[in-house]
Structure 1
Amino acid sequence: METAIDKLAILTESNSLIEPELYDKYNVKRGLRNSNGTGVLVGLTKIGSVEGYKLIDDKKIPKEGKLFYRGINVEEIVDGFQKDNRMGFEETTYLLLFGKLPNKTELDDFNKLLSEMRCLPKHFTENMILKIPSSNIMNKLQRSVLVLYSSDDNPEDLSVRNVLKQSLNLIAKFPTIISYGYQAKSHYFYDNSLFIHSPRKDLSTAENILHMIRPDSTYTKTEAETLDLSLVLHAEHGGGNNSAFATHVVSSSGTDTYSAIATAVGSLKGPKHGGANLKVRDMVADIKENVTNWSDKNLLKDYLVKILKKDAFDNSGLIYGMGHAVYTLSDPRAELLKKKAKELACEKDSLKEYELYTNIEELSKEIYKTFKGEDAVISANVDLYSGFVYELLNIPYDLYTALFATSRISGWCAHRIEQIISDKKIMRPAYKSIDKNINYIDLDLR
């Protein structure tokens, strides 16, 4: 059987290859990118926007990065809830879904609404999660989303009220699904003890995650605040990111909410999208293993040069956690998380680790100029510090991308609702066939 598949694989590969120069010949916008690296405009949105450069005479001019949720600078949002000494993810979700900041009563009512929806349907934990454990939590999350369709009395109704109800239900349940999915994997794949803690109504999303994934359910205030900040910063990133765009594409067909969100989860699962912080953690582990004194900037710089030259780590030539498709001089998410990471590192007595990450950021900028020229710019992206933060929080490796999904579903649902209300035309881009027409040959003559 394997030999037959091997032969078919060779045949498939030979007949599926399209020569790279043909993409240029037919002016194909590969990756939906223009020749100057900007994204092809395919839609309009009020939900989020990203600024990372100015475009002058079709040329990118670097600028400090900014991220806006419903027109409000995310830095102002973070400053607002942090100075009030409270969690911010629920407020951010409210803003993304409803287009306005909630007052205190509205926020309290919204928190109560989410808390009432966090528990999974009867027998769902046993039958869907524990009896069918998965080696990948994102796979478990995607399947669970689709199965939740069966517990919905009206899954196909596309009225705004019903889609909003479904969206809130999924946003509330994602933390529970990923936490139980991890516990199942930890038990059945790693032979650890099984801990199933019910979500608590008095806890925020971030607090509930720490409560459900830890055997003793304990956490510090700084830990909860740090995870909450990470959730806020990953909640939305404009309609053009891969998973949000996938949500738009699938929603445009008129399909149900569960199919649309499961598609977004599948998109985020890809290592080119949601798995970047995993690569950061692997790269840093590789640095620690191969640099005898990683506090020595000269030794660290030499190894980073090897990584850039494809002579070390995964030979990709990428310093993970550095660079972004939109941000140039800075990624505001990285800046905000970096600040909180230092606070958490102090609490965990891990300042040496923190300095390793800041040194990677600083030295990578220097190296990049050496290789690309003095005018070249690169900055740390959010993945550099989110991986570090998750490590400090002792978040299991298996949950890194699932936490991203738990945050980003707020943006996905907002984009889906916007699509349903504002743009009812099905998305159907063009593909040009470059194959030649040939005549059919009878079986006996082949």
Structure 2
Amino acid sequence: MAEAEIARGLEGVVFTETELSFIDGQNGRLYYLGYPIQELAEHSSFEEVSYLLLHKRLPTADELAVFKEKLVKNRSIAVEKVASFADYPRTAHPMASLRTAISELGLFDPTEEDTSFESLYEKSVSLISKFATVTAAIKRLREGHMPIEPDPELSHAANFYYMLNGKRPSPEQEKLLDVALILHAEHGMNASTFTALAVHSTASDIYSSIVAAVGALKGPRHGGANEQVMKMVQEIGKPEAARGWVQGKLANKERIMGMGHRVYKALDPRAVILKKYAEIVAKAHGKSTEYEILTIVEEEAGKVLNPRGIYPNVDFYSGVVYSDLGIPTEFFTPVFAVARISGWTAHILEYARMDNRLLRPKAKFVGELDRKYVPIDQR
């Protein structure tokens, strides 16, 4: 047999086709179904983007109204299920709690094993809606408060804010959260999306696929990176310490969190959009210290890293935005999941429309063969 070429980290391996998103990493561009992310962030809503991903087209006004109504009807979770969330240890990472909660939703869904396309679609809509409810309930319970019932009069973003914080957001806060959800909704064949498809390809239920995706997103090299950025800001402490801190990290060849991306060799377009909103937040709500630290880190690190094609990614400024919205650092990644559930389910539906071929890669064997077994009393 010919010598197998190993693609470390599956770098460059193409196993399927998709229409959902296109990333032009060299020029820093991102498209959902061909629409530039800048236009969607400015003019669309998370509900419309979710429809776009699931249906592969923008809705009419009537179609969007029906879709929004379906999302609203799926928001509530049975009281007994929410009560079980209270038993989760508060020392556990919120992503671990979210992973367990979504598994519970599947456990009590009588249609869990129905993998028909129609059932997958209905469960996808339900999961998009319930991810926000579950995440908010977990946060409230960890803080010693009772979960808040969804408000059917509010948009997805506004209702999520309300369930998190117990008060309705201002129009600016609603837009801010809506934009953040849009920017995180989809991003190609990343680790968590691939994980979801790997499980789905076995003909397992959609809950198993999504639980696996949550587990992948939990990792600090994927969704957890945004937490690390805020920890970096806290470690630096004050703007005047930022340049020296960066210089020390670079001199020791240590990584600057939130800088660099596997795909982008130019500035991540999502980071550009979030930076704009982070600046608005900094001026309006007193997060100026965090924002100033990040801008100095970006400038100082950029002197060395930009020529290497390393720029801020979406995680770099998202923490300041989330912090202003009353979201604790440990909940940054669950909020990411509240957005990315749209992309995960859209990819599952797209793969289901194809042949849903079982993913079965190979590994190059480098061990010994025909080794002789030695009885345990002779070892």
Q: Is TM > 0.5 for Structure 1 vs Structure 2?
A: yes
- Paired residues in the alignment total 375
1:357 maps to a residue whose letter is L
Displacement, 1:363? 1.7
Q: Look at both structures and tell me which one has the larger radius of gyration over its CA atoms.
A: 1
Question: Retained in 2: the 8 A contact 1:119–1:173?
Answer: yes
2:7 pairs with 21, 26, 29, which one? 29
Q: How does 1:69-84 map to 2 (within 5 A)?
A: 69-81=32-44
1:221 equivalent in structure 2: 171
The change in CA–CA distance for 1:349 and 1:184 in structure 2 (over 3 A counts) is: closer
Q: Does 1:271 align with 2:220?
A: yes
Measure the CA separation in 1 of the matches of 2:227 and 2:151: 29
Q: 1:235 aligns with which of 164, 179, 185?
A: 185
CA displacement, residues 164-199 of structure 1 (integer Å, 9 cap, x when unaligned) = 011111111011111111122222xxxxxx132101
Map of 1:168 onto structure 2: 125
**Deviations 1:306-355 (CA, angstroms, capped at 9, x unpaired):** 01223xxxxx7011111111112211101111111222222213334323
Q: Indicate which of 154, 159, 176 corresponds to 1:208.
A: 159
Q: Which ranges of 4 or more aligned residues in structure 1 deviate by more than 4 Å?
A: none
Pairwise CA distance, 1:206: 1.6
Give the corresponding residue for 1:20: none
2:326 counterpart SS class: coil
Partners of 1:322 and 1:381 within 8 A in 2: yes
8 A contact 2:233–2:290 mirrored in 1: no
Distance in 1 of aligned mates of 2:305 and 2:357: 44
- Alpha-carbon offset, residue 367 of structure 1: 2.9
In structure 2, relative to structure 1, the CA distance for the partners of 1:410 and 1:377 (3 Å cut) is same
From 4, 15, 19, give the equivalent of 1:46. Answer: 19
Contact 1:222/1:344, CA 8 A, preserved across alignment: no
What is the Cα deviation at residue 51 of structure 1?
Answer: 0.8
Residue identity over aligned pairs, in percent, reads 35
CA–CA separation in structure 1 for the residues paired with 2:372 and 2:5: 29
Question: How far, CA to CA, are the matches of 2:107 and 2:312 in structure 1?
Answer: 43
Looking at structure 2, the residues matched to 77 and 212 of structure 1 have their Cα atoms a distance apart, in angstroms, of 25
For residues 348-369 of structure 1, give each alpha carbon's deviation from its aligned partner in whole angstroms, at most 9, with x where no partner exists: 1333432322222122111336
Structure 1 unaligned residues grouped into runs of 5+ = 1-24, 34-38, 54-62, 82-87, 188-193, 311-315, 370-374
Residue 26 of structure 1: CA displacement?
5.8
- What is the CA-CA distance between 1:67 and the residue it aligns to? 0.7
Q: How does 1:11-410 map to 2 (within 5 A)?
A: 27-33=5-11, 39-53=12-26, 63=27, 65-81=28-44, 88-126=45-83, 128-134=84-90, 135-187=92-144, 194-214=145-165, 216-238=166-188, 240-288=189-237, 294=239, 296=240, 300-310=242-252, 317-368=254-305, 375-410=307-342
Matched AA of 2:290:
E
Higher relative contact order (CA 8 A, sep 6+): 2
User: What stretches of structure 2 of length at least 5 have no aligned partner?
Assistant: none
Q: CA deviation at 1:95?
A: 0.4
Deviations 1:73-126 (A, max 9, x none): 111212323xxxxxx111110000000111211111111110011001241111
Q: With structure 1 as the length reference, what TM-score do the two structures score?
A: 0.81
Contact 2:141/2:147 (<8 A) preserved: no
> Aligned to 1:45, what secondary structure does the other structure show?
coil
CA distance in 2, matches of 1:167, 1:205: 15
Check whether the contact 1:133–1:181 (CA below 8 A) recurs between aligned residues.
Answer: no
Q: C-alpha displacement at 1:211, in angstroms? A: 0.8
Question: Does structure 2 retain, via aligned residues, the 8 Å contact 1:305–1:367?
Answer: no
| Equivalent pair of 2:99/2:211 in contact (CA under 8 Å) | yes
Give the Cα–Cα distance (whole angstroms) in 2 for the partners of residues 418 and 132 of structure 1. Answer: 34
Q: CA deviation at 1:274?
A: 0.6
Query: Counterpart of 1:353 in structure 2: which amino acid?
Result: E
Distance 2:376 2:236 in 1: 58
Quote the RMSD (CA, aligned, Å): 1.7
The one-letter code sitting in structure 2 at the alignment partner of 1:31 is G
**Structure 2: distance between partners of 1:356 and 1:303:** 11
Q: Hey, what's the Cα distance between the residues in 2 that align with 1:90 and 1:170?
A: 13
* CA distance in structure 2 between the partners assigned to 1:141 and 1:303 by the alignment: 34
How much does 1:442 deviate? 2.6
